[in-house]
Structure 1
Amino acid sequence: MIHRKITLCSWFLSAATTTIQLSKSPIERLISVVAWSISTTRPPTFGVAPYNPILGETHHVSKGNLNVLLEQGHPSPGNQKVLHHPAVSALHATDEKENIEIIWCQYPVAKFNGTSVEAQVKGKRQLKLLNHGETYEMNSPNLFIRILPVPGTDWVGNVNIKCKETGLVAELCYISQSFFGFGGNKRFIKGNIIDSLKSKILYKVNGHWDSTVTLKDTNNGEERIIYDAKKVISRLHTPTVKDEESVWKTESAITWSELSQAIIKKDWEKAREAKKTVEEKQRELSRERESKGETWIPKHFILSQSKEGDWDCSPIQKWVPPSPIVTL
């Protein structure tokens, strides 16, 4: 799970932060948050999972004033011992100049349905616009993996985005294609933006999250594009290392460097060996901790569990420090 976020965090956070902060009205800020939330959805690839997240793996990257940090953990009820499940990914992003903070905690819970698997992505996303005193809370769509009759993957389910301070809410629905994999509304998204204090629908959301999404004003019928996937993706840039000596040993790029190089060279035998080496090292560390009676504790987050069994994360530092890995 952390690797999918690594490919995203270098750009999707920065894509909307300035726009959101500079929006003058609460409704325009919510619309910007909706567009940002949609931008975090990328087409998943079926049958390709060369990387498995490992305990303590991190990704730390900066873009301008925005600094992003992810850490992978495996907590257990009542303590923080190493377990294989659940795998909790924690993200913290801050922009001191714009006074923006994002806290993101998620973990998958899979449900098998015979011919398919639906992984509910549990956890909470919070985007805080501190200059406006606004906190936007949202969830994630679920990952749907179809095994039969036509293999494929998609994002499905309901996503709710709400701001308690303004009473504005966005209700989105990700709709998959038909059971047989043909026709239907592939990668379709629809929904409403609502003023919950007045129980009034302000806008209709409609489109495809992998192309364009439009917004229609229910008052005057005017439409506009709020998200263009092609335009956003065209602005992607690969992160570069600014200071090699300052890169953490837990950095994902270091952990999986040999595997990544083997995949690039299409040396599949070497790729299998590289992956096996990383995973075996993790098993050895786990056995060593167990023999000493030690427990693993996250370095950058505090993980907690509610009475209902849901996991949440709290960053240890108020602001994420600048990273030696940067992207333009």
Structure 2
Amino acid sequence: MFKVRWEMEVAKGKEAKKIVLTKPFSIEGESDAEPFYRAPNLLRRLLSLLKNVRPGSDLTNFQLPPVFNLPKSQLQCYGESVYCTSSNLLSKCNSEQSPVDRFTSVVAWSISTTRPSSFGVAPYNPILGETHHVSKGYLNVLLEQVSVNPPVSALHATDEKENIEMIWWQQPVPKFRGTSIETEVHGKRMLKLLNHGETYEMNCPRLSIRILPVPRMDWVGNVNIRCPETGLVAEISYTSSYSLLGFGGNRKLIKGKILDPSLFKVLYEVDGHWDKTVQVKDTKSGEIRVIYDAKEVISGLKTPIIKNAEGVLTSESAVVWGELSEAIMKNEWEKAREEKEGVEEREKKMVRERGMKGESWVPKNFRVSYSKDTREWNCSPIHKWVPLAPIIAP
């Protein structure tokens, strides 16, 4: 059964809100609740759903019926990749003494944001203005959906004790390829170690969903990490290999290198599996050491808990989708359909009302701009520090 924490709050003069939080994915399995809420014949239903979609089509605004939804928003999934950990890799990034060691730890942290996915189901598409605010220890994480057409999510996280700041913005672009769906994630991720005056810029791999001949989901593609202050660069490749019929093969592979371009030198060779262990080999000494162990970092993850129900905003993902998530977990598909349509209709109504008033929507937590020349978004947080959240990750 899907482990869930929820509670009701009745505010003065306002309708009661339901807050539903679900357990994050971990390496123990795609989900300990998947059979509990997922409908049967999912592959057949998915093929039927996509039969009228042409190869090459952009699926960005494609709406899935609730039977294909995970009981959580994509905004929550982004946040979980940062705050749902069993060990504090960020602290290790900050505490390393040398620039090379800090860079290597950042590579390990970047790998830790890669999380398992489940075939045939996807999180909800966030609505405009939706937020997700969670704290773990001294790390406070805040996300906001700053655009829906195209969908752009922004993240700001700060740790005042470690003096660390994280700024992300990303735009998923899924396209149908006939027998697969490829989702590229445009945008940028930045991790700032303020004590050291270092900024690490990186991208993330793309998600490949193979429908035939054997259903699979894999993270694939190239991730580049660089630190302008030290000049260090990492080139990491996510790959999966298969046999002729799609069975077997070697999945979830990571290979790459850490370089010092100023010396025209490869410092470390990177090798492993992102769901197991990743190691580096010192090209000078030949020494091999493990820099990332998925079992230590993304196993035994627990459901976040509500510490202050009154402080949970109505824009919070766990509130926006609370009724729908509960219906999905109870296999109440007709109610789930009604709840999802209700959320979508309320969003359309707000768009119409803004249009009638001649108002433009402005994000509450980020300054957002778009360059037509580069076709790139830029999201910068309004506030220096993210405050303590009413939802806590244990």
Q: Judge same fold: TM > 0.5, yes or no.
A: yes
Partner of 1:326: 392
Distance 1:73 1:180, change over 3 A: farther
RMSD over aligned Cα atoms:
1.7
Of the structure 1 ranges 158-167 and 106-115, higher mean CA displacement relative to structure 2 is found in 106-115
Partner of 1:246: 311
Distance 1:250 1:166, change over 3 A: same
Q: Among 150, 174, 182, which residue is 2:238 paired with? A: 174
Determine the C-alpha separation between the residues in 1 that align with 2:308 and 2:109: 30
Which amino acid is 2:140 matched to?
N
Partner of 2:222: 158
1:282 correspondence with 2:347:
yes
Determine the C-alpha separation between the residues in 1 that align with 2:128 and 2:166: 22
**Following TM superposition, by how much is the alpha carbon of 1:140 offset from its aligned partner in structure 2, in angstroms?**
0.7
Of the structure 1 ranges 13-22 and 152-161, higher mean CA displacement relative to structure 2 is found in 13-22
- Give CA deviations for 1:228-250 in whole Å, capped at 9, x if unaligned: 11221235232111111111111
Which amino acid is 1:52 matched to?
N
Q: Among 173, 177, 181, which residue is 1:113 paired with? A: 177
- Give CA deviations for 1:188-228 in whole Å, capped at 9, x if unaligned: 11000111110111111111111111111111211111111
1:46 correspondence with 2:111:
no
What is the aligned length?
Answer: 319
Distance 1:159 1:190, change over 3 A: same
Of the structure 1 ranges 207-216 and 127-136, higher mean CA displacement relative to structure 2 is found in 207-216
Give the conservation status (yes or no) of the 8 Å contact 2:86–2:297: no
1:56 correspondence with 2:122:
no
Determine the C-alpha separation between the residues in 2 that align with 1:103 and 1:259: 30
Aligned pairs (5 A) from 1:1-328? 1-12=74-85, 15-49=88-122, 51-74=124-147, 84-178=148-242, 180-306=245-371, 307-328=373-394
**Following TM superposition, by how much is the alpha carbon of 1:278 offset from its aligned partner in structure 2, in angstroms?**
1.1
Unmatched 5+ residue regions in structure 1?
75-83
Partner of 1:79: none
- Give CA deviations for 1:7-53 in whole Å, capped at 9, x if unaligned: 32322597321111111111111111111100101122222125221
Give the conservation status (yes or no) of the 8 Å contact 1:168–1:193: yes
Distance 1:290 1:172, change over 3 A: same
Give the conservation status (yes or no) of the 8 Å contact 1:99–1:129: yes
Q: 3-state DSSP class of the match of 1:183?
A: coil
Distance 1:192 1:66, change over 3 A: same
Q: Identity across aligned pairs (percent)? A: 61
Determine the C-alpha separation between the residues in 1 that align with 2:205 and 2:321: 28
When normalised by structure 2's length, the TM-score is 0.77
Which amino acid is 1:96 matched to?
E
Give the conservation status (yes or no) of the 8 Å contact 2:112–2:298: no
The structure whose RCO (Cα within 8 Å, separation 6+) is larger is: 2
